[in-house]
């Protein structure tokens, strides 16, 4: 590292910029990784974002000639402690029983394989709620993750540790996953870019399937990181169950591309919950910005979003059955039957409810979700290119507001509704959605969501880049920041 390059300066580099410095020889992979380690050690006492650290091994890999010559060679990466497994490393999914057992993965997940091929150096794992089930990162196993914009507030869930790490400048981008909003919600609460790709855009193997509500990517500061990391990871594996259509690669070419004049609908309210005025205002202001960019913008949204009580039932059935499967898998990991004492009250409640679901009701729920997916697609097919909504209906909650208790085990699930009401429908449909940091509420970030038709991440990246050029959100950093 040159004498003129400070660690604070590096903390403002995005992943693309950091990789460019390393390629030019201005910075070595070891210096890049060490700078991130220094920032984690300095900042994480206040935030509790990084729960597993593998610093020595990361430095050894960064110095090794075996470090792959990928596009992000020497750039540090943090893995969310859920789904993104790395052989020999802890993988606890926010569960105290796995922490107590010092459980370690035996495989590299497909996403981790792609990160390693790209040259990323994994330096640790980030905090997540138990099994990623609620919209706050406050697991009993590791304690609450705190928002660098205000430490009395949460970071969202379930990628809250990843969002806190990136928002505070520990590193430019971090692995995240989204089964109901878990990339977009923390991105909104921490002032970041958070893209949920289309179903089947990235491989979920070998443990999980692509045909589901969950998908992985990153939280980051810039549209070019969002696009370039997708280029490095959206490469199918043999046997993937769904592979999203490709409208034209590379994704990085969509950054700063003029998408032409688009027809865009916006929705600033919800039939299911009240929307905070600051969240609604951020949406309306974004609509005005888009109109100023030459797009045709109108107050319009898919009618199916006004009639989602049946979808809510189906999503909850799917969520409950998924919880049962997760506890079955937990039992296999522990080598014994899981008891109520092994998990948090909310997790046990969801699984008990899931055990009461009949095979017929589960099949019915899948049918309802399929019908909703097809009905929603009709709105985009009718001539709309994008939908704009708040990412969340409320600003970031205070620590403790969404944690389940023994007396109220569904407190976390019910409290999560306003945070997932705009995001979870698009996990059902499999459409891509992105949260952009385009609003504030009492000094805390709130996000605005753009949703495209299935497979159309290209439009989200192009339009997101237009908004980034106006808003310059990456110039604004959290009070707790490197």
Mean pLDDT of 459-463: 98
Question: What string of DSSP letters covers 48-110?
Answer: --EEEE-HHHHHHHHHSTTS---TTTT-EEEEESSS---TTSB--TT-HHHHHTT-B-SS--H
Residue 405 lies in a domain: yes
- Positions marked catalytic: 80, 158, 182
461 membership: H or E segment, kind and range: helix 457-471
The pLDDT tens digits of the residues spanning 385-428 come to 999 999 999 999 999 999 988 899 999 999 999 999 999 999 99
Mean pLDDT of 204-212: 95
Is residue 2's pLDDT more than 80? no
| b/e code 324-358 from CB counts within 10 Å (16+ = b) | bebbeebeebbeeebeeebbbbbbbbbbebbeebe
**How many helices (H) and strands (E) would you count in the chain?**
16, 11
pLDDT category at 6 given cuts 50, 70, 90 is: confident
Strands (E), 120-261: 121-126, 173-178, 193-196, 215-220
Instruction: State the residue for tokens 């997916």.
Output: 373
Residue 4 confidence (pLDDT):
41
Contact indicator for 96, 140 with CB cutoff of 8 Å: yes
| β partners of residue 193 | 220
| b/e code 272-288 from CB counts within 10 Å (16+ = b) | beebbebbbbbbbebbe
Domain residues for the domain of 431 are 7-475
The pLDDT tens digits of the residues spanning 149-203 come to 999 999 999 999 999 999 999 999 999 999 999 999 999 999 999 999 999 999 9
Question: What string of DSSP letters covers 312-379?
Answer: HHHHHHHHHHHHHHHHHHHHHHHTS---GGGS-HHHHHHHHHHHT--HHHHHHHHHHHHHHHHHHHHH
CATH of the domain at 439: 3.90.1300.10
The pLDDT tens digits of the residues spanning 16-34 come to 999 999 999 999 999 999 9
Q: In what order do the strands lie in the sheet with 296-299?
A: 173-178, 215-220, 193-196, 433-441, 444-452, 386-390, 263-266, 296-299
Contact indicator for 226, 233 with CB cutoff of 8 Å: no
Distance of CA 28 to the CA centre of its chain: 29
Residues with Cβ < 8 Å from 86, sequence gap 6 or more? 79, 105, 108, 109, 112, 122
Residue 482 confidence (pLDDT):
85
pLDDT category at 445 given cuts 50, 70, 90 is: very high
Residue 406 confidence (pLDDT):
85
CA 30, 32, 37, 40: dihedral to nearest 10 degrees? -170
The pLDDT tens digits of the residues spanning 431-441 come to 999 999 999 99
Residue 39 lies in a domain: yes
Number of domains the chain contains? 1
Which of 190, 151, 176, 138 is CA-nearest to residue 446?
Answer: 190
| b/e code 370-387 from CB counts within 10 Å (16+ = b) | eebbebbbebbeeebbbb
Residue 7 confidence (pLDDT):
79
Is residue 3's pLDDT more than 90? no
């Amino acid at each position: 590292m040159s004498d003129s390059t400070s660690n604070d300066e590096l903390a403002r580099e995005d992943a693309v910029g950091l990789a460019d410095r390393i390629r030019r020889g201005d910075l070595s992979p070891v210096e890049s990784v060490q700078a991130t380690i220094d920032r984690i050690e300095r900042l994480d006492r206040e935030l509790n974002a990084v729960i597993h650290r593998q610093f020595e091994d990361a430095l050894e890999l960064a110095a090794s000639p075996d470090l792959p010559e990928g596009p992000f060679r020497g750039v540090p990466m943090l893995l969310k402690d859920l789904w993104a497994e790395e052989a020999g490393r802890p993988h606890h999914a926010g569960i105290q029983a796995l922490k107590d057992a010092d459980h370690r993965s035996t495989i590299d997940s497909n996403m981790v394989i792609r990160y390693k091929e790209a040259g990323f150096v994994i330096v640790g794992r980030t905090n997540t709620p138990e099994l990623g089930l609620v919209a706050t990162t406050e697991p009993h196993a590791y304690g609450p993750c705190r928002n660098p914009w205000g430490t009395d507030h949460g970071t969202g869930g379930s990628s809250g540790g990843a969002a806190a790490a990136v928002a505070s400048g520990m590193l430019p981008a971090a692995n995240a996953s989204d089964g109901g909003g878990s990339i977009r919600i923390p991105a909104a609460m921490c002032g970041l870019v958070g893209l949920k790709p289309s179903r089947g855009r990235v491989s979920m193997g070998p443990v999980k399937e692509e045909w589901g509500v969950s998908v992985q990517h990153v939280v980051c500061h810039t549209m070019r990181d969002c696009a370039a990391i997708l280029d490095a990871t959206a490469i199918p594996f043999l046997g993937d169950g769904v592979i999203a259509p490709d409208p034209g690669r590379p994704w990085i070419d969509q950054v700063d591309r003029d998408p032409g004049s688009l027809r865009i609908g916006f929705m600033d309210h919800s039939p299911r919950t009240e929307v905070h005025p600051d969240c609604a205002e951020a949406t309306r202001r974004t609509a005005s910005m888009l109109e100023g960019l030459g797009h045709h913008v109108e107050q319009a949204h898919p009618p199916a979003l006004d009639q989602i009580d049946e979808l809510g039932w189906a999503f909850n059935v799917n969520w409950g059955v998924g919880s049962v499967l997760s506890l079955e898998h937990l039992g296999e990991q522990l080598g014994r039957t899981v008891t109520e004492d092994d998990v948090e009250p909310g997790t046990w409640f969801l699984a008990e409810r899931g055990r009461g679901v009949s095979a017929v009701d589960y099949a019915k729920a899948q049918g309802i979700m399929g019908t909703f997916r097809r009905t929603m697609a009709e709105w985009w097919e009718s001539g709309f290119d994008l939908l704009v909504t708040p990412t969340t209906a409320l600003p970031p909650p205070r620590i403790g507001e969404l944690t389940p208790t023994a007396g109220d085990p569904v407190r976390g699930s019910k409290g999560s509704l306003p945070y997932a009401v705009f995001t979870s429908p698009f996990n059902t449909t499999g459409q891509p959605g992105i949260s952009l940091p385009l609003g504030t509420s009492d000094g805390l970030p709130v996000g605005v969501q753009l949703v495209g038709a299935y497979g159309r991440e290209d439009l989200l990246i192009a339009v997101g880049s237009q908004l980034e050029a106006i808003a310059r959100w990456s110039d604004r950093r959290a009070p707790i920041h490197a």
